[in-house]
């Protein structure tokens, strides 16, 4: 069985790792050779996704096609289907999810709680939204935003025009959201098959640093009612978009116990990396099972607590192997290095997961290892 993946980054790389256990081969379709995932498969199609010959070569080599990021035009996914290869999540799901306006509209129609939002066509629309929502506001690109690229928090009218100019550079239309006074950011991974069967992972807490996921606590130290609400919202959201595959659902927990959906990701998600060691089935294996229509695996945790810390680049330079090696000396630290050739400030270079009897125990191990990787040379 061969699964094709649009994209060759670390998410595709970890999908390859999971595929090995399943006897599933992976075909990577990426614009450039030597992507992190392409190093671990004999099947690679290199070229622009918009090139019909590239799409045809890719579709021909795969039994099913999926993606590791949502920044692909849905019409290209539809073209793969026309060429005879199924695509999961479906092009229709990706089209809805990749547009943050459409995504939120779909969630609202399904009766799910999201922060107030509206489409904006110019700075005046943003100022008008501020009348309704109050300051601060969050201005976002509808498409192609990730890790804070494509986001701006507006604290008052003076922030509007600079943010507008910066965010519209990529050509995507924008939307604006009310700023939510959340007490915690939560995330839930949900896997769903085309027959509607779902498997849900524990609710985790994510802590961002400069809009980039930095630490994940599994399970989140929240009230049971909040966990139930978050889980129900997450499953309902993936049903609402008719998702097939694994999805990351980011949520806001408010002081009053309410939970709102922030964003969906139609793919493995940084907040689910902990599942590799901490759960009976990793999010990556689960994604492959889901898109192949195979039985979903158990999502139970194998330890009371797990903490994941992202290894974010500290400087712009070729990767420092010595710093990587030092971190291997921390017992219980599960290191993941993505093999990126160059370190860049803020770039996700890898992650470390530790299990423990408590979140505090696990965090101490993970942070110690992460600290050794980040040490100056």
Residues that bind its own copies in the complex, under the rule CB under 8 A: 1, 13-14, 16-17, 20-25, 34, 38-44, 280, 289, 294-295, 297-298, 300, 302-303, 319, 321, 324-325, 328-329, 331-332, 334-339, 350, 355
Bridge partners (DSSP) listed for residue 270:
none
Residues 179, 152 contacting (CB under 8 angstroms): no
Tell me which residue of 177, 178, 150, 148 sits closest to 164, measured CA to CA.
Answer: 150
CB contact at 8 A, 129 and 176: yes
Q: In the bound complex, what is the minimum distance in angstroms from residue 16's beta carbon to its own copies?
A: 7
CA distances to 105, 293, 323, 327, 376 from 3, in Å:
31, 12, 34, 33, 40
Contacts of 78 (CB under 8 A, 6+ apart): 87, 91
Q: For residues 235 and 292, which CB has a smaller minimum distance to its own copies in the complex?
A: 292
Strands 305-312 and 212-218: antiparallel
Closest separation in Å from C-beta 334 to its own copies: 7
Contacts of 172 (CB under 8 A, 6+ apart): 141, 142, 143, 144, 145, 150
Q: Nearest distance from residue 321's CB to its own copies, in Å?
A: 7
What is the distance between the alpha carbons of residues 276 and 268, in angstroms, rounded to a whole number?
11
Residues 296, 364: Cα–Cα separation, whole Å: 32
Whichever of 154 and 335 has its CB closer to its own copies, that residue is: 335
CA distance 232 to 235: 5
- Supply the minimum distance, in Å, between the C-beta of residue 331 and its own copies: 4
Closest distance to its own copies from the beta carbon of 192 (Å): 16
| Nearest distance from C-beta of residue 325 to its own copies, angstroms | 5
Bridge partner list, 343:
317
Distance from C-alpha of 261 to C-alpha of 186, rounded to nearest angstrom? 9
Please, where are the H alpha helices in 293-358? 321-327
Give the CA diameter of the chain: 56
For residues 253 and 330, which CB has a smaller minimum distance to its own copies in the complex? Answer: 330
| CB nearer its own copies, residue 1 or residue 53 | 1
Residue numbers belonging to the annotated binding site: 100, 140, 177-180, 185, 262-263
Residues forming a β-bridge with 208 = 213
For its own copies, the closer CB: 141 or 283: 283
352 in helix, strand or coil?
strand
Binding site for ATP: what residues are annotated? 100, 140, 177-180, 185, 262-263
What whole-number distance in Å separates Cα of residue 264 and Cα of residue 99?
10
Query: Cβ(320)–Cβ(340) under 8 Å?
Result: no
Residue 14 vs 174, nearer CB to its own copies: 14
Q: How far is the CB of 320 from its own copies (least distance, A)?
A: 12
According to DSSP, the residues that pair with 45 across neighbouring strands are: 29
The minimum distance between CB 53 and its own copies, in angstroms, equals 21
């Amino acid at each position: 069985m061969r699964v094709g993946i649009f994209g060759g980054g670390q998410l595709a790389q970890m999908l390859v790792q999971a595929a090995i256990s399943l006897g599933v081969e992976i075909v990577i379709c990426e614009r450039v050779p030597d992507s992190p995932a392409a190093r671990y498969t004999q099947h690679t199609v290199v070229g622009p996704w918009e090139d019909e010959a590239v799409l045809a070569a890719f579709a021909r080599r795969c039994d099913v096609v999926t993606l590791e990021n949502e920044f692909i035009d849905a019409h290209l996914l539809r073209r793969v289907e026309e060429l005879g290869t199924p695509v999961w999540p479906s092009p229709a799901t990706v089209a809805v999810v990749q547009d943050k306006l459409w995504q939120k509209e779909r969630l609202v129609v399904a009766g799910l709680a999201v922060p107030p939002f509206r489409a904006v066509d110019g700075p005046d629309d943003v100022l008008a939204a501020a009348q309704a929502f109050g300051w601060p506001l969050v201005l976002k690109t509808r498409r192609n935003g990730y890790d804070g690229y494509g986001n701006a928090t507006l604290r008052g009218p003076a922030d509007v025009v600079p943010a507008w100019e910066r965010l519209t550079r990529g050509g995507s239309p924008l939307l604006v959201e009310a700023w939510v006074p959340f007490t915690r950011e939560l995330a839930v991974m949900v896997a769903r098959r085309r027959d509607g069967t779902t498997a849900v992972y524990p609710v985790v807490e994510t802590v961002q640093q400069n809009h980039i996921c930095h630490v994940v606590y599994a399970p989140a130290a929240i009230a049971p009612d909040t966990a139930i609400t978050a889980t129900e919202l997450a499953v309902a959201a993936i049903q609402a978009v008719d998702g097939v595959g694994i999805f990351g659902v980011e949520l806001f927990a408010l002081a009053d116990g309410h939970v709102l959906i922030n964003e969906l990701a139609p793919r493995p998600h940084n907040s689910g990396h902990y599942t590799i060691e901490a759960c009976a089935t990793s999010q990556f294996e689960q994604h492959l099972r889901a898109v192949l229509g195979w039985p979903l695996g158990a999502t139970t945790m194998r330890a009371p607590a797990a903490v994941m810390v992202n290894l974010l680049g500290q400087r712009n330079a070729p990767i420092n192997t010595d710093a990587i090696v030092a971190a291997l000396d921390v017992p219980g630290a599960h290191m993941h290095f993505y093999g990126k050739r160059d370190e860049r400030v803020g770039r996700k270079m890898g992650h470390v997961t530790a299990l423990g009897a408590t979140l505090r125990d696990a965090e101490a191990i993970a942070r110690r290892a992460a600290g050794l990787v980040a040490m100056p040379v």
